[in-house]
Structure 1
């Protein structure tokens, strides 16, 4: 609905114009009973915020031109249609300088009034639609970026992704990326009850907003929250003083966290920086070990890793690849592959000092993976310093076997149920602006795993299934001749009729118009 204000010092002209406009269209509404001079126009524009003002030029006191200038200062988007008995270029020139495009003469013909109103209304509606589409696109882009960040960070720490090189990151961000490091933010509850889901979401939202204020010397990618722990990747620009900048980030976060102290404690651990993207996985391990040390020190709030734990490690490329294969076998619940990959894994752990640390890191990764799958309350086994190599290997193997059994049960029962629950949700909400993230959240899975499990179970991707449901419903609705194709487009979840037409033709081989003609004949 567009709000229209009529301004004219002649009461008969004003009332006649108001009557014509009120009868013109249901899309416009005349506010008040109009204004009788320029000063009243300014006051009513400030109060009612009209979209369109029919403004008489010659009025006592403040004339129409001056009123336009004043209104433009606080309502720049207001459109004006100037009305005057003077057909002179000077008047037209003066209002044109204020961006006014429409100018009609008194006595005004009804046709001229309606045509001018129609042009201005169409322009406003078109701009609003463009603005809405832009905002919708921006919102979708932000949501996609957020999902991409979570999944990329998750892939990085799970070591299942081919990392972008720093040269590729530099090209993506338009600045030189020279190194990167991982930070872990751990929210510690003050009571034994822990945090509610709403409180966890509150902390996660707080962290995302707080990290936006950490300066311009690094790009920040935020992972998903596991229990009360959030991994954050910092990609450093140019010459970067690691400890100085990391401490500045920590100080900034703690300053902002003061308002949240009554709800919990914030602990921060930081892994070492690495100068190659394929080493960022190790920075996450550094941060994990630093966090373990930190949680054993009640008086410390943060810990920055100062030792490169990988110095004594076997070659990382082979080690990490075997670890990646082992994790994938666990995720699939493939017992034979788990046992096979476990043997390969322990063969690479030939140095006893590294043994305990490597198992600790592996179990943390498995715990995070299970959490992403929706398997809760999985305890990480504690490797006591006093036990020997054989005990570590046996304890690790026993834990893996327990996990595999749990995953098999979950995949056969719980996962199947959740995926059918997801299908029902899609079939009920297909007409909404449905996203993969929304459905994954509904069944309490990470978007990455939900997408993968959905495809494994049903043989189609989430978006293909959603499209299939929408097209099927559209076909049914086309049998009702009273409904327009545009109505059907919106009713099945599409916002753009042109896009709907392209999708429909791609799936049926016919345009919506052609399909409707075919089923009628």
Structure 2
């Protein structure tokens, strides 16, 4: 706590400092001989409390308070005066003075008055700290959900540009994706990684899903792409514990719109295919010659088809799809290399869908270039069998009706700041897969379902006339009554106040 004593009489200042110094050990004290000096000192010293004498030559106490208020609205002023008149009190109230001490005053009265104001400052700081922590937590959940929507095609009804701006991120026309891959079982200090990413002032970090953390980076126009990427890579890898824990980062290409960002994400994953390189990162541009060219529209179509087959457990049809692709390529006279590239793309899509479901795969790419179609067929069948085995082993670990468990969890915790990541930890599935099955089974995303749960609970609480609308707002999980009112009106086509009035008159 910082306290500034302002008085034109040195004896008064020294006496006040002695009293406060003896009774409040955890405060920093400074003195100012007049209002002008006090106003100048306040900018650098940033006092929490100012004991301001009123009758001073030159700039009096009221004038000094008015000047200090323009730049330091947080300061609590205690008026010190020998004249406790109504006019003085009225002027002090207009300027926001919180208390006063009448000269001369007993030590006990001074200590009580200053102690009360210091307690008020302390309480406000704690409340502000709590508010900032809550805001940071909510924004972190919000950020990971936005990354999920951008990279996995589950876009919220609000335009993505607006969502990004809500996070106060410096966006540019160009962006790319980096994917951090960590070894299974290794320790990951996610908050520290998030802090490193945030300091770049132009990046969004996704949730840790399995072994991966995706990071969307917005291009800095005054810096070369590789320089910007390598700088962030070094910052992130410096957090690896122990330092030789084999963290690896794949870096996708730069694209000019957020709609294309999934392409860069796919590329960043492919760039992690060989984590044994001497350096702990790889650009997609360094490996793209030996890997398939990903057509975004084609990939989306294949994802939908493959997701449906995996979701329905039709692994025989998946094997048939792979086999037909291989047979067709051989009949068409496609080169062996090109055929293996197409199969690699197919297997890669399957592996990413399973990764979204929370299925861990140690490897999903061909480990060599086939010398003939027979060898390629054999290796393809082996890869797909391993993937199928991993999926079935994971499915056996899932208990009960997953959708029902998710629904019940959201309903029970609708008043809390829950996100896809929160639900993920509860049911043991990746956030992306949860988002997909939510849309598949319920026809809406989890955000809309959460909103519906909150609104239904609000309607029930409105039946109690003793509860204020502000109390109801907090009880259903919102922090701002105005925002709650907007959401309610959007969902119900009527304001909460109007709804409650109709409800209570029935």
Query: TM-score per shorter chain, which class?
Result: 0.5 to 0.7
Alignment of 1:223-234 (within 5 A): 223-232=206-215, 234=217
Matched, 1:497 2:481: yes
Matched, 1:333 2:318: no
Aligned to 2:437: 453
Query: Which of 472, 496, 500 is the aligned partner of 1:511?
Result: 496
Moved more, 128-137 or 418-427: 128-137
Q: Contact conserved, 1:183 with 1:284, CA < 8 A, in 2?
A: yes
Q: Aligned equivalents of 2:445 and 2:7: distance in 1? A: 62
Q: Aligned equivalents of 1:64 and 1:482: distance in 2? A: 53
Q: Aligned equivalents of 2:261 and 2:62: distance in 1? A: 66
Q: CA deviation at 1:291?
A: 3.8
Q: Aligned equivalents of 2:361 and 2:83: distance in 1? A: 79
Structure 1 pair 466–345 and aligned structure 2 pair: CA distance change class (3 A)? same
Structure 1 pair 42–93 and aligned structure 2 pair: CA distance change class (3 A)? farther
Moved more, 128-137 or 220-229: 128-137
Structure 1 pair 513–344 and aligned structure 2 pair: CA distance change class (3 A)? same
Q: CA deviation at 1:407?
A: 6.6
Q: CA deviation at 1:353?
A: 0.9
Alignment of 1:89-488 (within 5 A): 90-99=60-69, 106-108=83-85, 112=89, 116=93, 140-154=138-152, 175=172, 177=174, 183-188=178-183, 194-195=184-185, 199-200=187-188, 202=189, 204-211=190-197, 220-232=203-215, 234-238=217-221, 250=233, 256-257=238-239, 260-261=241-242, 264-270=245-251, 291-295=272-276, 301-304=280-283, 309=288, 316=295, 320=299, 323-333=302-312, 335=314, 338=318, 342=322, 345-346=325-326, 347=328, 350-376=334-360, 380=364, 385-386=369-370, 388-390=372-374, 392-393=376-377, 396=380, 414=398, 417-488=401-472
Structure 1 pair 380–265 and aligned structure 2 pair: CA distance change class (3 A)? closer
Q: Aligned equivalents of 1:315 and 1:94: distance in 2? A: 67
Q: Contact conserved, 2:406 with 2:423, CA < 8 A, in 1?
A: yes
Aligned to 2:17: 39
3-state secondary structure, aligned to 2:479: coil
Structure 1 pair 81–340 and aligned structure 2 pair: CA distance change class (3 A)? farther
Unaligned runs of 5+ residues in structure 1 are: 10-34, 51-60, 157-162, 165-171, 189-193
| Per-residue Cα deviation, 1:200-255 (whole angstroms, up to 9, x for no partner) | 3x2x4444444556x79xx545455454344545554458656666555555555x
Q: Aligned equivalents of 1:518 and 1:249: distance in 2? A: 56
Unaligned runs of 5+ residues in structure 2 are: 71-76, 100-119, 155-159, 162-168
Q: Aligned equivalents of 2:365 and 2:4: distance in 1? A: 73
Structure 1 pair 83–282 and aligned structure 2 pair: CA distance change class (3 A)? closer
Q: Aligned equivalents of 1:5 and 1:90: distance in 2? A: 16
Q: CA deviation at 1:372?
A: 1.7
Q: Contact conserved, 2:252 with 2:264, CA < 8 A, in 1?
A: yes
3-state secondary structure, aligned to 1:380: coil
Moved more, 224-233 or 132-141: 132-141
Q: Aligned equivalents of 1:272 and 1:484: distance in 2? A: 53
Q: Contact conserved, 1:322 with 1:344, CA < 8 A, in 2?
A: no
Alignment of 1:57-68 (within 5 A): 65=35
Q: Aligned equivalents of 2:3 and 2:466: distance in 1? A: 33
Q: Contact conserved, 1:184 with 1:269, CA < 8 A, in 2?
A: yes
Structure 1 pair 401–121 and aligned structure 2 pair: CA distance change class (3 A)? farther
Q: Aligned equivalents of 1:282 and 1:502: distance in 2? A: 36
3-state secondary structure, aligned to 2:423: helix
Q: Aligned equivalents of 2:96 and 2:60: distance in 1? A: 23
Structure 1 pair 460–186 and aligned structure 2 pair: CA distance change class (3 A)? closer
Q: CA deviation at 1:352?
A: 1.0
Q: CA deviation at 1:400?
A: 5.2
Moved more, 442-451 or 100-109: 100-109
Q: Aligned equivalents of 2:212 and 2:181: distance in 1? A: 4
Structure 1 pair 405–510 and aligned structure 2 pair: CA distance change class (3 A)? farther
Q: Contact conserved, 1:184 with 1:231, CA < 8 A, in 2?
A: yes
Structure 1 pair 102–230 and aligned structure 2 pair: CA distance change class (3 A)? closer
| Per-residue Cα deviation, 1:285-329 (whole angstroms, up to 9, x for no partner) | 66555544442x5x5544556656359968946754554344333
CA RMSD of aligned residues (A): 5.7
Moved more, 243-252 or 491-500: 243-252
State how many pairs are aligned.
Answer: 457
3-state secondary structure, aligned to 1:374: coil
Q: Contact conserved, 1:431 with 1:492, CA < 8 A, in 2?
A: yes
Q: CA deviation at 1:453?
A: 1.7
| Per-residue Cα deviation, 1:81-100 (whole angstroms, up to 9, x for no partner) | 85757999855334433339
3-state secondary structure, aligned to 1:152: helix
